[in-house]
Structure 1
Amino acid sequence: MMDFLAESYLWIKAFHVISVLAWMAGLFYLPRLYVYHVEQVKAGSETDVLFQTMERRLLKAIMNPAMISTWVFGILLVGIPGIVDWTAPWSWAKTVAVICMTLFHMWLAARRKDFVAGTNTVSGRGYRMMNELPTLLMLVIVISVIVKY
């Protein structure tokens, strides 16, 4: 199995990067949809239903599969000997940041359910502030992996 993983390293890495890009696009866009949903849309209106549809499809059709494939390809990469040095701080920083990114994804999914139930309590400003979190986590991840510091 290790030989197969090592021989497939570049393919696994390519699909990991593709998955991360798709996931990050959703993590940047969904909170922005929530900002507009909170600030511009009246609950129960046709536009409310439209926003709920867009949010659901983004989460279910793009973000969830992208997150899962990011994890799968990332775990495969970790399984290749010599790729990750677990004695170095960068590997732990990246791991913690990816876990935080996943928790943020779950938080966004829970907020979508709040919109569906009509119980959203987060303001547009709150969603704007939360929209910065994936950027901060991305900085930690990219610097950790590239600089290996």
Structure 2
Amino acid sequence: MLDLIFPYYLWVKAAHVVSVVVWLGGQCLLVVQLASHRQVLAQQGNADLLSAVEQRCLRLVVNPAMLATLLLGATLFFLRGPELLGEGWFQVKLVFVVAMMALHGAIAATVASLRRETVSAIRIRALQLAGLMLTAAIVSIAVIK
């Protein structure tokens, strides 16, 4: 059975990796944009253009990439079979993926809150650090397994 789906498996895996790169890269870029937005608010008090850019980035790039990552990852899981659930590296990876989804929600909430209020530099730095650490963990686990 695996012989029949193996060529498709590699294409699905490649698409999954591309969507992961876009999702995580988009999140990193968005957090850097949030830091710039915060500075503009502190200096001038008007950052409507930055807010619109952040919303578009989230809505048109980061959210779809996250959904594609999750759907393609689930497809890979079903193509490989449920024996993956018994492997320790896969369980740890799933925990980190759930944490990355929570980080995604925190970034989206920060984007929304910057329209109404100022966000602390500590919060933005925490988002940056969490994103980098989770990215490093997920990629390391997936490569080293």
* TM tier relative to shorter chain: 0.7 to 0.9
What is residue 75 of structure 2 aligned with on the other side?
A: 76
- Structure 1 residue 111 corresponds to structure 2 residue 110: yes
Deviation readout 1:70-93 (Å, 9 max, x if unpaired): 000000000013596222211011
The DSSP-based 3-state class of the residue aligned with 1:119 is coil
CA deviation after TM superposition for structure 1 residue 35, in Å: 1.1
Secondary structure of the equivalent of 1:79?
helix
Within 5 Å, give how 1:1-149 maps onto structure 2.
5-41=5-41, 42-43=44-45, 45=46, 48-81=47-80, 85-116=84-115, 118-120=116-118, 122-148=119-145
C-alpha displacement of 1:6: 4.3
Over 3 Å counting, the alpha-carbon distance change for 1:4 and 1:62 in structure 2 is farther
- Asked if structure 1 preserves the Cα contact closer than 8 Å seen for 2:31 and 2:107, the reply is yes
TM-score normalised by length of structure 1 = 0.86
Return the alpha-carbon distance in structure 1 between the equivalents of residues 65 and 40 of structure 2.
Answer: 29
Q: List gaps (5 residues or longer) in structure 1.
A: none
Task: Tell me the distance in 1 between the aligned counterparts of 2:77 and 2:39.
Answer: 42
Whether the 8 Å contact between 2:28 and 2:128 is mirrored in structure 1 is: yes
CA-CA distance at 1:3 after TM superposition? 7.8
Higher helix share: 2
Q: 1:105 to 1:5 in 2, by over 3 A?
A: farther
State the 4+ residue runs in structure 1 displaced beyond 6 angstroms.
Answer: 1-4
How many residue pairs get aligned? The number is 143
Is the contact between residue 35 and residue 125 of structure 1 (CA under 8 Å) also seen in structure 2? no
Identity across aligned pairs (percent)? 29
